[in-house]
Amino acid sequence: MTATLGLETALVDRGVYDRTLARFREQGIAMPTFAQLADPARITVDLGAVDPDAPDPRNLWRVHWHNAASGGGFVDVPDHVVLPPAFTGVDAPIVVLLGDRFPLIGAHKVLAAYACLAPRIVTGQFDPTGQRAVWPSTGNYARGGVAISRLMGCHGVAVLPENMSAERFAWLDHWVADPADIVRTPGSESNVKEIYDECARLAAEPDVVVFNQFCEFANHLAHWLVTGTAVEKVLARLGYAGAAAFVSATGSAGTIAAGDRLKESAGARVVAVEALECPTLLYNGFGEHRIQGIGDKHVPLIHNVTNTDVVTAVSDRSTDALDLVFQSDAGRTVLARRGVPSDVIAQLGSFGLSSICNVLAAIKCAKHFGWGPSDPVVTVATDGSRLYDSERVKVAAALAPDGVDEVTAARMLGEHLWGAAPDHLRELDAVERDRIFNLGYFTWVEQQGLGLAEFEARRAQSWWRALRPMLAAWDELITEFNHRTGLVA
């Protein structure tokens, strides 16, 4: 299990290690530790005037939540916005960390990609001189994987559904070494199984290593530490001693790992979100949806289900409509007239479809539990609106063919934002957690061949806590590797 799921902390292949060391020394590639990504004040590497979106290895040191909105500097506290009652319709403050501050792709998935590749590099499990890194996702993780691969001297291959947003493919076209490195699978957001099938085909080739974010536990661990710490810093800056909840669409279940940390440090409930059109966790359901970036139809192996407290669902009708309104002049005028501060409205460009989904779920929870001004609900805006310009054109043609005027904007805001109901929400007891956990059997044991004992071990919280020391072990290996390259003292 350790070798196939990215949990190795010992040297596996000395020959691969030495070849990689030479490649990194030659190309000037040095790697940050996970501790440094959690606390960038510890980073001493001079980034100079490097463009944060350039294919420069120094941008590895920007794979964290502390990037400034403009320029290449760092901020002491991650950029965030607190959505007030005038915006949300609830008294509880909704605190949103802004993921479009991440470099290279304008989304936080570069963190997951780095987390999955770096341990394989420093344990000699991946050979950048002769292997291809395959990155399966519905968009941002594949882009993040290609970006991180290029920065780390590796050959990256993106696997994603053919009907994802045009902006994802336009970015990939500029970053891959060969058009063949963009593998399009059938369908769109709701076709994760087809991605798995293509990865199984590719994995049969001897030079391929698949970095499956849904079962790479480094994805979980990086978010537990880096994203969890970022949220703690934001809460401290805002003066909150705790949080009512951490809310995250499940997706690959990397981000929601921050909730595990905040449950211990801030007393937060862990809230998992999915699309109402495909309510797998909530109702054992299935279907198709358009909330790009949140996954569906299965339970990721790295989702700590038995530590999750709430599951709720959001309709793609709402995310589509609100994206259209948030990015329109008329919609922003209506929000301003309602009393939403201009600095909040100015941040709406940082809200992509999955970001809006997270915010709506946070509002639903605040209504359901009756939380008030001293009960902050924390979530993340995983990417920004610019990734969905082409999708917005399609939505506008269907929902507002004559354009979004103030009447239309007010109607959509009233229905989908201020009128968001606390429905399709379930508080999880032990029986419900086991029900959801058991759903994972069909993907991971029956389809993907994981051993039953390894699958069952994940029920216990002690198993998840035992993973955490791996971060320190990887950091020691990264530090030693950097020292051997001679690039970092």
Residue extents of the structural domains in the chain: 80-102+220-427
| Angstrom distance (rounded) from CA 344 to CA 360 | 16
> What pLDDT, in 10s, does the model give residues 188-213?
777 778 888 999 999 999 999 999 99
Residue 426 φ/ψ, nearest 5 degrees:
-135, 125
Give me the pLDDT at residue 164, please.
87
* pLDDT per residue as tens digits for the range 299-313: 999 999 999 999 999
Q: Which of 157-171, 228-242, 289-303, 445-459 has the lowest mean pLDDT?
A: 289-303
Q: Model confidence over 85-112: pLDDT tens digits? A: 999 999 999 999 999 999 999 999 999 9
CA–CA separation, 66 and 128 (whole Å):
29
Higher pLDDT, 290 or 219: 219
pLDDT confidence band for 4 (50 / 70 / 90): low
Better-predicted residue by pLDDT, 72 or 444 = 444
Is the predicted pLDDT of residue 187 greater than 90, yes or no? Answer: no
Which pLDDT belongs to residue 489?
A: 72
459 near 306, Cβ under 8 Å? yes
| Mean pLDDT of all residues in 341-361 | 97
In this structure, which topology does domain 80-102+220-427 adopt according to CATH?
A: Rossmann fold (3.40.50)
Would you mind telling me the total number of residues written for the chain in this entry? 489
pLDDT of residue 193: 81
pTM (whole model) above 0.95: yes
H-assigned helices in 164-256? 166-175, 192-203, 217-222, 228-238
